Structure 1
Amino acid sequence: MKQTWRWFGPDDTVTLSHVKQAGASGIVTALHQLNDGRAWPEDEILKRKAIIEDAGLTWSVVESIIVHEDVKTRSGRYRELIDNYKASIRAVAKAGIKTICYNFMAITDWTRTDLDYQMQHGGTALRFDVVEFCAYDLFILKRPGAEADHPPERIERAQARLKRMSESDLARLERNLIEWVPAREFVYDRQSLNRMLDVYGELSTEGFRQNLFEFLAEIVPVAEEAGVRMAIHPDDPPFPLFGLPRVVCCAADARALLSAVPSAANGITLCTGSYGANPENDLVAMAKEFAPDIHFAHLRNVTKEGDGSFHEAEHLEGDTDMIRVVDALMTEERRRQAEGREDWEIPMRPDHGHAIVDDIGKRVNPGYSCIGRLKGLAELRGVMRTIETLGGLR
């Protein structure tokens, strides 16, 4: 598999030199400073590509060209924004980048309640606590109708938890939930989040799904023509937040998406952590079923907790059998090689590493510390090398 690394651009504290030392050869990045719905200029793409190549690396995957909220709701400037998206696809393809990872999550991107969850080994991880989220949704944001989205026992626990939280705890929770995610188009405060929730208003899950399919019907032919493979990232967490629709949470969602616009250019990003947080999903089975349509892989693991909460686990620990997932992906690579495909190699990246060793206390994007991901990549590389030597698991 193509070993890649997410890099947030020249301001990232994890440098391209660090990436090269970690042993990755491909970069996963975007023009984050231009991710507001505008078409990406070719010259800006080439500037970023040159920086990467000057470091001896390759820009392997674009993650992400942001899908604007107007496109998701098919309101406002959505026609202009879809045209911009098409132009960006053509521009990155012209620069030789042929895989685009994107998501279709309403308002939020990946969401956690805790960015510094203490692990037994002394480092920290990302965690989503359903009780803390409930406390915020009902009693701080005070979203109308939120009571219907949480079971009574969770609400009772949230009330008790809220009484134990200090003002700084509450500020941290709000910041984690709505004010911070790396490379998000923009951040929210309580008022602007409520305004966006009103925009979604009566949009049902099926209505939102149809908006995704209509978006794909427009961009996939452009991707086909440009030789680009689109790879949708699953919802993270893979269940509704703030009453918003979620449409990429499980195997059935992936099947519906792939059948709605059948094309080699319409595929998925197999994020084993996002899909893995949904108890319905069997990641080994999904890796096998969707193998021909997997254009990119985020390899990380989670440990699910009894109430629906979860935290990021070590890459080879947690609830997903990562070794068999990797074996399924490498089996698909061998199939593609046998077909004579030049793009047989599936790009993968270690994802959401723990903050450990010298990264503890440093200014890093939570989940994107250097040493935690280096450790994860080394472990995954060992798995891949063993599977390659054996010719696959027996």
Structure 2
Amino acid sequence: MIETWRWFGPKDTVSLANIKQAGATGVVTSLHHVATGDAWSLDEIMARKNLIEDNDLTWSVVESVPLHNDIKLRTGDYLQHIENYKISIKNLGKAGIASICYNFMPVVDWTRTNLLYSMPNKAKALRFEMSDFAAYDVYILERDNAEQDYAPELLAKAKTRLDAMSEQEKALLEKNIIAGLPGGEGSYSRDSIRQAIAEFIQLGNEGMRRNLILFLEAIIPTAEEAGVQMCIHPDDPPFSLFGLPRVVSTAEDVRLLTQAVPSRANGLTLCAGSFGARCDNNLVEIAKEFSDIVHFVHLRNVKREPDGSFFESDHLDGDNDMIGLITALLNEQKRRKLEGRADYLIPMRPDHGHLMGEELEQQGINPGYSFTGRLRGLAELRGVITTLEHLQNQAS
């Protein structure tokens, strides 16, 4: 597999030199300074690509070209935003960057309630705590009818959690949920997020899915022409938040999208941690069913709890069958190679990592994107991949 590393640009605390030292060969990045909805110019793309290549690395995947909310709602200037998106796809194709990861999550992007969850070894992990989220939704945000989305026992736990929080803890919880996490889109105030939530709730799951399919029908022909593979990222977490629609949370969701717009360019980012936060998602079976259109992989692990809470565990120590997943992906690579596909190698990146060592005292590190935590994850995953490849070669 192609070992890649997410980089947030020149202001990232992790440098391109660090990425090179980690042993990765590919960079996953985005033009974060370009406003959502604006077209990416070829000059801007080439400037970033040249910077990466000057450090003897390759820009392997764009993560991401974000979608304006107008596209998701099909309101306002959505037609112009779609045209701008097509321009970005064309220019990325001209620059030789052939994979674009994107998502179709409404209002909030990937969401966690605790960015510094203490592990037994004193490292810090990312956590989604359902009772904390419910406490915010029902008692702080006071979303209309929010209590109807939670079981009575969870509401009781949420109220207990809220009563135990200081004002500072409540403010931090709100910041974690609505201020935006690295690579996500949008930061909201309490009033603006209420309004945005109401718009998407009115749209509903079927309306949201319809709008995604209409978007894909508009841009996939452009992607095919440009030689670019679109790879949608699953919802994170893969269940409704704030009563919002979710349309990329299960294998059935992916099935509906790929059947509606059948094309290899209409592909999937297989994020093990996102899909894996649901116990009814079988990662190995998802990898096998959609193997032909898995264009990018996020490898991370989670430990789940019955109420929907989870925390991000060590890469090889969670509820996800990482060995089985990587085996399925290596088998797909072998199949592609025999088929003669030029893109037989699948880019992967160690997704998220614990905050540990000297970085515990360092300021400005993007949550989940420390150097040492991901370095450990990459080393563990590299060991698994190397071993499985060796066994695969012996068997053949």
Scaled by the length of structure 1, the TM-score of the pair is 0.98
Q: Which runs of 5+ in 2 are unaligned?
A: none
The equivalences for 1:219-258 within 5 A come to: 219-258=219-258
1:213, 1:260 within 8 Å by CA — same for their partners in 2?
yes
> Alpha-carbon deviation of 1:199?
2.6
In structure 2, what residue type is equivalent to 1:124?
Answer: K
Over residues 295-343 of structure 1, what are the superposed CA-to-partner deviations in whole Å (9 max), with x where a residue is unaligned? 0000000000122100001101100110110010010001111011111
Q: Determine the structure 1 residue equivalent to 2:8.
A: 8
Native 8 Å contact 2:200 2:245 kept in 1: no
1:114, distance to aligned residue in structure 2 (A): 0.2
Kept in 1: contact 2:14–2:370 (CA 8 A): yes
1:229–1:265 CA contact under 8 A, matched in 2:
yes
* Separation (CA, whole Å) in 2 of partners of 1:188 and 1:369: 25
Conserved 8 A contact 1:35-1:65: no
Q: Does 2:149 correspond to 1:146?
A: no
Q: 1:273 is matched with which residue?
A: 273
In 2, the alpha carbon distance for the partners of 1:98 and 1:164 equals 50
Aligned 8 A contact 2:108 2:186 in 1: no
Change (3 A) 1:198 1:393: farther
**Within 5 Å, which residues of 2 pair with 1:169-318?**
169-318=169-318
Partner of 2:375: 374
Residue 59 of structure 1 corresponds to: 59
Residue 33 in structure 1 maps to residue 33 in structure 2: yes
Report if aligned partners of 1:327, 1:393 keep a CA contact under 8 Å in 2: no
In structure 2, what is the Cα distance between the partners aligned to 1:392 and 1:106? 44
- Match of residue 383 from structure 1: 384
Matching residue's letter, 2:150: H
- What amino acid does structure 1 have at the position aligned with 2:182? P
Tell me the amino acid that sits aligned with residue 109 of structure 1: D
Q: Secondary structure at 2:343's aligned position in 1? A: coil
Residues 90 and 223, structure 1, Cα contact 8 Å, conserved in 2: yes
TM-superposed CA distance for 1:200, in Å, is 2.2
Give distance in 2, aligned partners of 1:156 and 1:241. 18
Rounded to whole Å, the distance in 1 between the matches of 2:75 and 2:200 is: 10
Within 5 Å, give how 1:68-87 maps onto structure 2: 68-87=68-87
CA-CA distance at 1:35 after TM superposition: 3.7
Structure 2 partner of 1:23: 23
* TM-score, normalising length: structure 2: 0.98
Alignment partner of 1:125 is 2:125: yes
Q: Which amino acid aligns with 2:389?
A: E
SS at match of 2:263: coil
Structure 1 residue identity aligned to 2:20 = K
CA distance in 2, matches of 1:46, 1:302: 36
Distance in 2 (CA, whole Å) between partners of 1:393 and 1:116 is 43
Write out per-residue CA displacement over residues 117-174 of structure 1, whole angstroms, 9 at most, x where no aligned residue: 0001110000000000000000000000101111111101111111100011101100
Structure 1 residues without counterparts, runs of 5 or longer: none
Q: Deviations along 1:338-381, whole A, 9 cap, x unmatched?
A: 01111111000000101111211212000000000000000110
- CA–CA distance in 2 between the matches of 1:297 and 1:72? 24
Q: Give the direction of change, closer, same or farther, for the CA distance of 1:34–1:191 in structure 2 (3 Å limit).
A: same
SS of equivalent to 2:40: coil
Secondary structure, in 3 states, of the residue corresponding to 1:34?
A: coil
Return the alpha-carbon distance in structure 2 between the equivalents of residues 308 and 393 of structure 1.
Answer: 41
Q: Is residue 201–residue 243 contact of structure 2 (8 Å, CA) maintained in 1? A: no
**Superimposed CA distance per residue, residues 210-230 of structure 1 (whole angstroms, 9 cap, x where no aligned partner):** 100110001111100111111
Residue in 1 that maps onto 2:342:
342
TM-superposition CA deviations, 1:17-57 (whole Å, max 9, x none):
10000000000000011041100011000000011001110
Give the C-alpha shift of residue 393 in structure 1. Answer: 9.9
Q: Which amino acid aligns with 1:388?
A: E
| Matched AA of 1:331 | N
Partners of 1:377 and 1:56 lie apart in 2 by 19
Contact 1:35 1:66 in 2 (8 A): no
1:12 positional shift? 0.3
Residue of structure 1 in register with 2:92 after alignment: 92
2:130 maps to amino acid: V
Q: Identity, % of aligned pairs? A: 55
- Letter paired with 1:13: T
The residue identity in structure 1 corresponding to 2:377 is G
Structure 1 residue 279: Cα displacement: 1.2
Tell me the secondary structure at the aligned position of residue 33 of structure 2: helix
Let me know the Cα RMSD of the aligned residues: 1.1
SS at match of 1:202: helix
- The answer to whether the 8 Å contact 2:110/2:184 transfers is no
* 1:264–1:293 contact (8 Å) kept in structure 2: yes
Q: Which amino acid in 2 is paired with 1:236?
A: D
Provide the C-alpha distance between the structure 1 equivalents of 2:17 and 2:222, rounded to a whole number of angstroms: 35
Deviation at residue 186 of structure 1 after TM alignment: 2.9
Supply the distance in 2 between the matched residues of 1:369 and 1:30 (Cα, whole angstroms): 18
CA contact (8 A) 1:387 1:393 kept: no
Return the offset for 1:185.
3.3
Equivalent pairs counted in the alignment come to 394
Note if contact 1:39-1:85 (Cα within 8 Å) is conserved in structure 2: yes
| Aligned counterparts of 2:302 and 2:222: Cα–Cα separation in 1 | 35
CA distance in 2, matches of 1:371, 1:232: 28
For residue 75 of structure 1, what is the amino acid of its counterpart? T
- CA–CA distance in structure 2, aligned partners of residues 378 and 392 of structure 1: 21
Separation (CA, whole Å) in 2 of partners of 1:299 and 1:310: 16
Q: Structure 1 CA distance, aligned partners of 2:321 and 2:197?
A: 37
Deviates more, 1:186-195 or 1:127-136: 186-195
**Does structure 1 conserve the Cα–Cα contact (< 8 Å) formed by 2:37 and 2:67?**
yes
Partner of 1:333: 333
5 Å-filtered alignment, 1:98-113, equals 98-113=98-113
The AA in structure 1 aligned to 2:391 is L
